[in-house]
Structure 1
């Protein structure tokens, strides 16, 4: 008696577009941190627009960012803005973001955001 088991697996595809609520774990005394919501929209088939509130003790942090970025094909991407690097890691189910802020002055901070829409 021969048994065949067929297991069909589908590779997870990242869903970057949507609205994410940012938590308060990023140390705003050391870094410019996303604040409030991150909204990621599709600008074209190959680019996304990320809009987010920003807060931090340094005057150069500003109050918001709007960035156009290449559409990632994986669950991780790095954005460079004004010399700072922002590493974004999307969860495998695309419901949350881990954010690693790497500032030009070598300060490092981390934060998280949870999908609310999209």
Structure 2
């Protein structure tokens, strides 16, 4: 398996050139990509915000990443619903919706971007 940084560089380059990606699902089994995703989001202010479940960055571990990868391989991974909150719009009295996903979902989507 290629190094995670190399894979991300290739994906980024193909995206910039508007080229399609093939056989990408197997990349989701790369633990390094999840660790890079974790590194990119653990320090964010929202990392301690709970979604539908009580998961936060505090519950992250290699074992949890291994479980996610195992569920992906067995095709049993399911995204939890998103908790909906309403926050005030900047400079207005109106509110806008904000979706708060579970920590696993945040990690997964950061991993893909």
Q: What is the TM-score when the length of structure 2 is the normalising length?
A: 0.29
Structure with max Cα Rg: 1
Higher helix content, 1 or 2: 2
Q: What is the TM-score when the length of structure 1 is the normalising length?
A: 0.29
